[in-house]
Structure 1
Amino acid sequence: MGRVDMKISVLTVCWNSAATIRHTIDSFLAQDHRDKELVVIDGNSSDETLSIVRSYPPDQIRLISEPDSGMYDALNKGLRLYTGDAVGVLNSDDCFHDRTALGRISAGLETADIVHGDLDFVEDHLSKRVVRRWRAAARPAKGFRTGWMPAHPTFYVKRKVTDAVGDFNTKYKVASDYDWMLRSIELHPFIVATVDGTLVDMMVGGKSTKNLSSTIHHNLEALQSRRMWLRSCLIDFALIAKPIRKVRQFIVR
């Protein structure tokens, strides 16, 4: 377990997420790490999302609901609102894998500035049928240039990281999380570590992976980020290596 005095904040962006957000909140409240908060940033939902969130006791859930300019604009609001010593993101259709996830994250952050871990892609949160497994690996010598990246839903950082890195870049529509992680790891001397075990169950069909067009769009935006910050070529090694690295994730054991 991590230090009891390390408060972990979790940001959940939602819009018309009534079908899934109860699973997300329940998995947060079940965490055995006691010093935690959930910040829900809602984009002015028109379904039952808000009534579901408001049905929970407010002592560990902070809610803001107003129009926004998309997921990354909402996450930037969350970065300004969270009160913890560390922060990460849990999507409104994802869940923590088990009740120990935040405790393991907190323990990792005792000796690191940034942690990330394993992620399972599941068909739904009732069957929990795994269709893809993302297994965390330590940063290779050339980092993001090799096609390596952490799984963003498992990515937790200390406050000094958010202070140094700043906002998500809203010019990217599907890869601003990639850009934010790249800036965190490649542009600063922060200590990065992996956390043992699966941290998050992620529903298939997310914004950057729901179809081939989305995947291509994500990879092209990721290339723009590398060209900006790493001075990559017009077509770099990671553009090919990044999708290839993910092929093994579909071999479910």
Structure 2
Amino acid sequence: MIKFTIITSTYNCADLLRKTADSIRNQTYPFKQWIIADGASEDRTLEVVNQNNDVVTNLISEPDTGIYQAWNRALKLIEGDWVIFLGAGDYFYSHQTLEKIAGKLTNIDQNIHLAYGDVHLIDKNDQQLCVYGQISEGWEFLRPKLPPHQGTFQRAKLFESEKVFDESYKIAADSKFLIKALVISTLEYLSEPIVCMDASGVSSNIPNTRNTYIELNRLRKEMNLSTPYSHRIFFCTYIYAKILAYRIFPKRLCSMLLQLKRRIFGFRF
């Protein structure tokens, strides 16, 4: 039987983590491992972990430089055949999610190392903002279109080296990993809802917009991506319009406009 490894990076996110723990506990599929890589939280996060030790398989808790160092530390503990990364506050779409996906991955071609499904972006009230489904060919955010990492299952063999994620990035290392993985694998769309994703992640945070652009532009150059010039102009204009709006308007209004834009257009940040 297929075994899943779920990896979650945490830092001072006690309340959010409860939601993720409940979701994993309620999965009808029994063959799963949950690794929590904590950055030495100072709130009640570790207390929440201990309260959920029936579903937490492995815990690492030590200071880290960010999510990617935390993920890299978790890789050596992987026991599953397929790996998925969930943020604190993310949760599986239904109790049967892993059971349904296991059935689909059992018969998948051995040369396919990446498989993904639908991701539902939600606000703090668990209201749906938009759904990221099957992706088409093209460009977004200065790089090829990619599925959200929270909805992507990766074969464990992709994580056999010690440091898979480039820790010099703070936001875009998962994009870099997926682009490199696509050199040896195609993407398989599973046509199933996978996860409800919290919209307040680091690359979704308005103050991080400028850093997101800087990292994605760096990624474009490092990976020698042939991003169309027209797309580069469009994306740069969009980013600076967003930064300008944040400087002019109150933060709450900007957040409301961002959610409205997501409902209409579905952009991830």
- Fold conserved (TM > 0.5)? yes
Q: What amino acid sits opposite 1:131 in the alignment?
A: L
Secondary structure at 1:137 match in 2 = coil
- Alpha-carbon distance between aligned partners in 2 of 1:15 and 1:166, rounded to the nearest angstrom: 20
Q: 1:8 touches 1:35 (CA, 8 Å); kept in 2?
A: yes
Residue deviations 1:11-63 (CA, integer Å, cap 9, x gap): 01101111210100110111122110100111111111111111124465211
Greater gyration radius: 2
Q: What amino acid sits opposite 1:173 in the alignment?
A: K
- Alpha-carbon distance between aligned partners in 1 of 2:234 and 2:155, rounded to the nearest angstrom: 29
- Alpha-carbon distance between aligned partners in 2 of 1:54 and 1:66, rounded to the nearest angstrom: 16
**Structure 1's 108 and 216: CA in aligned 2 closer, same or farther, altered over 3 A?**
farther
Task: Quote the residue 2:200 is aligned against.
Answer: 205
In the TM superposition, residue 231 of structure 1 has moved relative to its aligned partner by: 4.4
**Structure 1's 242 and 28: CA in aligned 2 closer, same or farther, altered over 3 A?**
farther
Residue deviations 1:162-186 (CA, integer Å, cap 9, x gap): 237951001111111111111111x
Residue deviations 1:93-146 (CA, integer Å, cap 9, x gap): 21111112222333343313211121112123xx421123222325x2889977
Task: Quote the residue 2:158 is aligned against.
Answer: 161
Q: What amino acid sits opposite 1:201 in the alignment?
A: C
Secondary structure at 1:136 match in 2 = coil
Task: Quote the residue 2:244 is aligned against.
Answer: none
Question: Does 2:51 match 1:70?
Answer: no
Task: Quote the residue 1:135 is aligned against.
Answer: 133
Q: 2:142 touches 2:217 (CA, 8 Å); kept in 1?
A: no
Q: What amino acid sits opposite 1:154 in the alignment?
A: G
- Alpha-carbon distance between aligned partners in 2 of 1:150 and 1:242, rounded to the nearest angstrom: 18
Q: What amino acid sits opposite 2:20 in the alignment?
A: T
Considering only aligned residues, what root-mean-square deviation do their CA atoms show, in Å?
Answer: 3.0
Task: Quote the residue 1:46 is aligned against.
Answer: 42
- Alpha-carbon distance between aligned partners in 1 of 2:26 and 2:196, rounded to the nearest angstrom: 14
Q: Of residues 82, 86, 97 in structure 1, which corresponds to 2:78?
A: 82
- Alpha-carbon distance between aligned partners in 2 of 1:170 and 1:193, rounded to the nearest angstrom: 27
User: Could you list the runs of 5+ residues in structure 1 that have no partner in the other structure?
Assistant: none
Secondary structure at 2:21 match in 1 = helix
In the TM superposition, residue 210 of structure 1 has moved relative to its aligned partner by: 1.1
Q: 1:165 touches 1:184 (CA, 8 Å); kept in 2?
A: no
Q: 2:21 touches 2:55 (CA, 8 Å); kept in 1?
A: no
Q: 1:223 touches 1:239 (CA, 8 Å); kept in 2?
A: no
- Alpha-carbon distance between aligned partners in 1 of 2:179 and 2:12, rounded to the nearest angstrom: 30
Structure 2 length-normalised TM: 0.78
After the TM superposition, which of the residue ranges 39-48 and 216-225 deviates more from structure 2? 216-225
Residue deviations 1:190-242 (CA, integer Å, cap 9, x gap): 1321122321111222100110x423422331232232223446x74554577
Of all paired residues, the percent bearing the same amino acid is 24
Q: Of residues 7, 12, 27 in structure 2, which corresponds to 1:11?
A: 7
- Alpha-carbon distance between aligned partners in 2 of 1:169 and 1:37, rounded to the nearest angstrom: 24
Task: Quote the residue 2:177 is aligned against.
Answer: 180
User: Could you list the runs of 5+ residues in structure 2 that have no partner in the other structure?
Assistant: 239-257
**Structure 1's 71 and 44: CA in aligned 2 closer, same or farther, altered over 3 A?**
same
Question: Does 2:91 match 1:95?
Answer: yes
- Alpha-carbon distance between aligned partners in 1 of 2:59 and 2:76, rounded to the nearest angstrom: 13
Q: What amino acid sits opposite 2:65 in the alignment?
A: S
